[in-house]
Structure 1
Amino acid sequence: MFSYWEQQSFTNYHYVVVGGGLVGLSTALSLRELHPQASILILERGVIPSGASTRNAGFACFGSLTELLSDIATLGEEGVKQLVADRWQGLQMLRERIGDNLLGYQCHGGYELLFTENLESLEALERVNDILHPVFNQQVFSTRSELIDQFGFNQERVIGLVENPLEGQLHAGKMMRSLINLATAQGIDYLTGATVKNFEITPDGVCLNVSSVDPEPIRFKAPRVAVCTNAFTHPLLPKLDIQPGRGIVLITKPMPNLKFKGVFHYKQGYYYFRNVGSRVLFGGGRDLDMKGEETTDFGINDQILEHLQYELSHLILPDQDFEIDSIWSGIMAFGKDKTPLVGLHSPEVGYAVRLGGMGVALGSLVGDRLARLICLNDENG
């Protein structure tokens, strides 16, 4: 049982944020900006943030040419323009909040590799540039196929290259460390190893039942709760349209003569790689086993890993020696389309989830929107 002191000082807050990743931290920081005196708690189930925030590839991107063409088929041109605008705004909010130095942010540009089967997408390049021009006031995509040889890719397979000078890269660990430091410096409590099992809406507020190392559940209470658990949302809000999607990532040991810098994509964003200093980080392959990768279990799909290693050896680094340093997986969240879900489950409980593999780009913006939605509802309630 809790002591009187614990009940008085540790379990009651004005706002509780469930999920301590990028979206949860962004929500809490925006709540702090809106309510400087409020008590705010973040509950994170992992010892360190678990999900995708510290396990992603560190891309500061907003969609490759073929990926956006695919999205136009489901969202339409206006929908894609708005989604890209949101991603771009979210990236700028993140950079302004933390600063490029603490993010480890670098802008070496982005590129998409094209093959015989999708070279026809170049015919739509100007159309996509026209769609995006109101967002950026400049041309986003251009062909740079002359760089294929310079970058050392397999020229028998890669026959086209599209450049996007606006894409960058960052250090996901530094990003999260900086956000946590900023939150704690602003008086936001951040508890790890705290899994929210369920919640109850009562006349006195929302009661959250949390499991931890203690033998009995701990109950936290707040008038307003923000759920920011992305792929792990189903136990709390089972009616939302969310499917987990596991992504596998590997990184090589340093390579003294690496020929490229920047972020790279191919096959509608299902494959992505970048330099990390003189290392190559490479991930993706979910398209090989979409159903099997709809899981919240961290693990490695051997079929996908084998394919990634083959692609690294035969497509990205042909005739070059390299060693794999480490392999990991992260869990993303998807739905019927790429738009994130931000809304109210009830007057007391809001959510910002389903980032569609674009959490780095969208996290700051959707967190801010959720904070404002909760506060507006708080004022109206």
Structure 2
Amino acid sequence: MVAPRLGARGARAASAMLRGALALPAPLLRPFAGPPVHTDDGRELPVPSRVVMRLIQRSMPAGLHDLARLRTDSERGGPILAGSEGRDLRVGDLTVPGAAGPLRARLYEPPGSREPGPLLVFFHGGGWILGGVESHEPVCRFLAARSGVRVLSADYRLAPEHGFPAQSDDAVAVFRHVTGDPARFGAAPGRIAVGGDSAGGNLAAAVAHDALRTGSTPPAWTLLIYPATDLLGEYASRNAYGKGFVIDTETWTGKGGLIASLVPHGEDPRLSVILDPDVAGLPPTYIATGGLDPLRDEGEAYAERLRAAGVDVTLRRFDLLFHGFASFACVERHCGTALGEIAAEVRRAMAVAGSAATGPTTAQPAEDPGDGAGVVV
């Protein structure tokens, strides 16, 4: 079933209904949440979060034959999940040059941001095969509204129609354009960061690696939300959460899976960024992982790889959350608490990036709000 297309008012109404439903008492939600889910230390995933996780899992297709439906649902679902978040933002659509032609982008500007200031260039997740400006409306609106930092959301060519490295080539081209013409986006030179979630986190990391490798203008800071960093690696979290936890490993990387076209390139460091032999000198990096995410361990291994090379890294695990939680921040409070903390880190880091301070910075551990939050590692 394809999600209906709704106007702005209809999307806000649908969002309010979903938010209200997820705020119902746990006994009323439990029939829709499936069986209890526990972490290794015995803590139980909150019932509303289990409902969200099941919604994501049930929306996933079994293979490429359902990709068109999945893309349509992803695009139409974004405004619904965003709801009324950030309604006072100035939002404008534009095009930016990719590696092979123009790409769609959307700029979110907080009220009062008239002077040039920090900018976060954000690349959407979706396994390199789906997603775009519309699907990530909730994430980018939330980050811009809660951080006070401009956010530029940019598309890139999707697989399998566009083979690797089209995705990373586009991300690099977009970022180079922004740093080459910062005034167009209200950005101050030297205060332009890069970020993304999942596959978009992979692309954000690839942008930082490219700048280090080529000597082009580097990001001031890098934000990686449950990033993919090692396509073919073996990790305990993949074995533990590779089925029934949003990302079904076989559906994605198995024979005929959704990202089968990328698998032959799995050892390319532009795709599996953890394999890059030289990471010393990368910009300060914040990495958020979910405790119940198959990608958890590769994200954390990447953090340790950078830390060992002397990179300033903050690693934050949200123990009771799962892959994709950022997209539900506007409608589910546990997801919102986590992305709210990430937005606060954007505000802090970008203020530091624009100051005269030199040397690595150390983030202070946020007060643990519970219900899905973990610790700064």
TM-score, structure 2 normalization:
0.28
Instruction: Identify which of structures 1 and 2 has the higher relative contact order when contacts are C-alpha pairs closer than 8 Å and 6+ apart.
Output: 1
TM-score, structure 1 normalization:
0.27
Q: Max radius of gyration: which structure? A: 1
Is the strand fraction higher in 1 or 2? 1
